[in-house]
A and B are shown apart, each in its own frame.
Chain A
Amino acid sequence: MNRGIRLFLVAAGLIALPFLTDFAFGRTWVRIIDFALLYSMLALGLNIVVGFAGLLDLGYVAFFAVGAYLYALLASPHFGLHLPFWLLLPLGALVAGLFGILLGAPTLRLRGDYLAIVTLGFGEIIRIFLNNLNAPYDITGGPQGVNLIDPITIGGFSLNHPLSSSFPAVYNYYFLFLAVTILVAFVSSRLQNSRIGRAWVAIREDEIAAEAMGINTRNVKLLAFAMGASFGGLSGTLFAGFEGFVSPESFTLMESIMILCMVVLGGMGHIRGVIFGAILLSILPEALRYVGSLQQAIFGHVYADPSSIRMLLFGISLILVMLFRPAGLWPSPVRRRELAAHDETARHENSSIYDAGH
Chain B
Amino acid sequence: MEIFLQQLVNGIVLGSIYALVALGYTLVYGILGLINFAHGDIVMIGAMVTLAVVHFLSGTGLPGPALVGIGVLVAAIVCMALGYLVERIAYRPLRDAPRLAPLITAIGVSILLQNLAMMIWGREYLSFPPLFQSGSFTFSGVSISPIQILILFASGAMMGALSWMVKRTRLGNAMRATAQHPEVATLLGVDSNLIISITFVIGSALAAVAGTMVGAYYGIAHYDMGFMLGLKAFTAAVLGGIGNIEGAMLGGILLGVIESMGAGYLGALTGGVFGSNYQDVFAFFVLILVLVFRPSGLLGEQVGERP
Residues of A within 8 A of B (CB): 50, 56, 106-107, 109-111, 113-114, 116-118, 120-122, 124-125, 128-129, 131-132, 136, 207-208, 253, 257, 260-261, 264-265, 268, 304-305, 308-309, 311-312, 314-319, 322-323, 326-327, 339, 347, 351, 353-358
Q: Which chain A residues border B109 with CB–CB below 8 Å? A: 315, 319
Is B111 engaged at the interface, CB distance under 8 Å to the other chain?
yes
Contact A121 B235 (CB under 8 A): yes
Contact A106 B292 (CB under 8 A): yes
The 8 closest A-B pairs by CB, nearest first: A357-B33, A318-B108, A326-B97, A315-B111, A121-B284, A315-B112, A319-B108, A326-B101
Residues 16-37 of chain B: 1 if any A CB is under 8 Å from the residue's CB, otherwise 0?
0000000000000100111100
Contact B105 A355 (CB under 8 A): no
**Nearest A residue (CB) for B296:** A114
Is B238 engaged at the interface, CB distance under 8 Å to the other chain?
yes
**Nearest B residue (CB) for A357:** B33
Q: Which chain A residues border B287 with CB–CB below 8 Å? A: 117-118, 121
Q: How many residues of B contact A (CB 8 A)?
A: 60
Known A322-B105, A323-B93; judge A357-B34 contact (CB<8 A): yes
Contact A323 B94 (CB under 8 A): yes
Which residues of B in the span 85-121 have a Cβ within 8 Å of any Cβ on A? 89-90, 93-105, 107-112, 114-116, 118-119
- B98, B110, B123, B235: which contacts A117 (Cβ < 8 A)? B235
Q: Which chain B residues border A106 with CB–CB below 8 Å? A: 288, 292
Known A315-B115, A322-B101, A357-B99; judge A132-B292 contact (CB<8 A): no
Main secondary structure of the interface of B (DSSP, over half): helix
Q: Which chain B residues border A117 with CB–CB below 8 Å? A: 234-235, 238, 287, 291
Contact A113 B238 (CB under 8 A): yes
- B93, B277, B296: which contacts A128 (Cβ < 8 A)? B277
Contact B182 A358 (CB under 8 A): yes
Q: Which chain A residues border B297 with CB–CB below 8 Å? A: 114
Contact B280 A128 (CB under 8 A): yes
CB distance from A123 to the nearest CB of B (A): 9
Q: Which chain B residues border A207 with CB–CB below 8 Å? A: 305
CB distance from B114 to the nearest CB of A (A): 8
Contact B35 A116 (CB under 8 A): yes
Known A121-B288, A132-B278, A318-B111; judge A356-B99 contact (CB<8 A): yes
Q: How far is the CA of A173 from the CA of B107 in the complex (A)?
A: 32
Q: How far is the CA of A357 from the CA of B103 in the complex (A)?
A: 12
Known A117-B234, A128-B277, A132-B278; judge A264-B115 contact (CB<8 A): no
Contact A264 B280 (CB under 8 A): no
Q: How far is the CA of A327 from the CA of B99 in the complex (A)?
A: 9
**Nearest A residue (CB) for B181:** A358
Is B61 engaged at the interface, CB distance under 8 Å to the other chain?
no
Q: How far is the CA of A258 from the CA of B13 in the complex (A)?
A: 33
Contact B33 A264 (CB under 8 A): no
Is B231 engaged at the interface, CB distance under 8 Å to the other chain?
yes
Q: How far is the CA of A68 from the CA of B69 in the complex (A)?
A: 50
- A121, A312, A356: which contacts B97 (Cβ < 8 A)? A356
- B114, B273, B278: which contacts A136 (Cβ < 8 A)? B273
Is B195 engaged at the interface, CB distance under 8 Å to the other chain?
no
Is B306 engaged at the interface, CB distance under 8 Å to the other chain?
yes
Contact B119 A312 (CB under 8 A): yes
Contact B235 A113 (CB under 8 A): no
Contact A120 B231 (CB under 8 A): yes
Contact A353 B100 (CB under 8 A): yes
Contact A356 B98 (CB under 8 A): yes
Is B5 engaged at the interface, CB distance under 8 Å to the other chain?
no
- B94, B99, B108: which contacts A355 (Cβ < 8 A)? B99
Main secondary structure of the interface of A (DSSP, over half): helix
Known A122-B288, A308-B118, A323-B93; judge A264-B111 contact (CB<8 A): no
Q: Which chain A residues border B108 with CB–CB below 8 Å? A: 315-319, 322
Contact B288 A323 (CB under 8 A): no
Q: How far is the CA of A323 from the CA of B278 in the complex (A)?
A: 40
Q: How far is the CA of A56 from the CA of B99 in the complex (A)?
A: 11
Q: Which chain A residues border B29 with CB–CB below 8 Å? A: 113
**Nearest A residue (CB) for B90:** A319
Q: How far is the CA of A355 from the CA of B118 in the complex (A)?
A: 35
Residues 170-202 of chain B: 1 if any A CB is under 8 Å from the residue's CB, otherwise 0?
000000000001110000000000000000000
- B100, B278, B305: which contacts A208 (Cβ < 8 A)? B305
Contact A56 B100 (CB under 8 A): yes
Q: Which chain B residues border A347 with CB–CB below 8 Å? A: 96
Contact A125 B111 (CB under 8 A): no
Contact B110 A315 (CB under 8 A): yes
Which residues of B in the span 220-277 have a Cβ within 8 Å of any Cβ on A? 231, 234-235, 238, 242, 272-275, 277
Known A318-B107, A357-B33; judge A118-B288 contact (CB<8 A): yes
Q: How far is the CA of A136 from the CA of B273 in the complex (A)?
A: 7
CB distance from A302 to the nearest CB of B (A): 12
CB distance from B191 to the nearest CB of A (A): 17
Known A113-B238, A128-B280, A312-B119; judge A356-B95 contact (CB<8 A): yes
Q: Which chain B residues border A268 with CB–CB below 8 Å? A: 98, 100
28 A–B contacts, CB within 8 A, in A order = A50-B100, A107-B291, A110-B291, A113-B35, A114-B238, A116-B35, A121-B284, A122-B284, A125-B281, A125-B285, A128-B278, A132-B274, A208-B305, A268-B98, A305-B123, A309-B119, A311-B111, A311-B115, A315-B109, A315-B112, A318-B111, A326-B98, A327-B97, A327-B101, A339-B98, A355-B99, A357-B32, A358-B181
Given contacts A113-B238, A326-B94, 8 further A-B contacts (CB under 8 A): A56-B100, A110-B291, A110-B295, A114-B291, A114-B296, A117-B238, A260-B104, A322-B97
Contact B284 A114 (CB under 8 A): no
CB distance from B102 to the nearest CB of A (A): 8
Q: How far is the CA of A120 from the CA of B121 in the complex (A)?
A: 29
Q: How far is the CA of A120 from the CA of B112 in the complex (A)?
A: 22
**Nearest B residue (CB) for A252:** B227
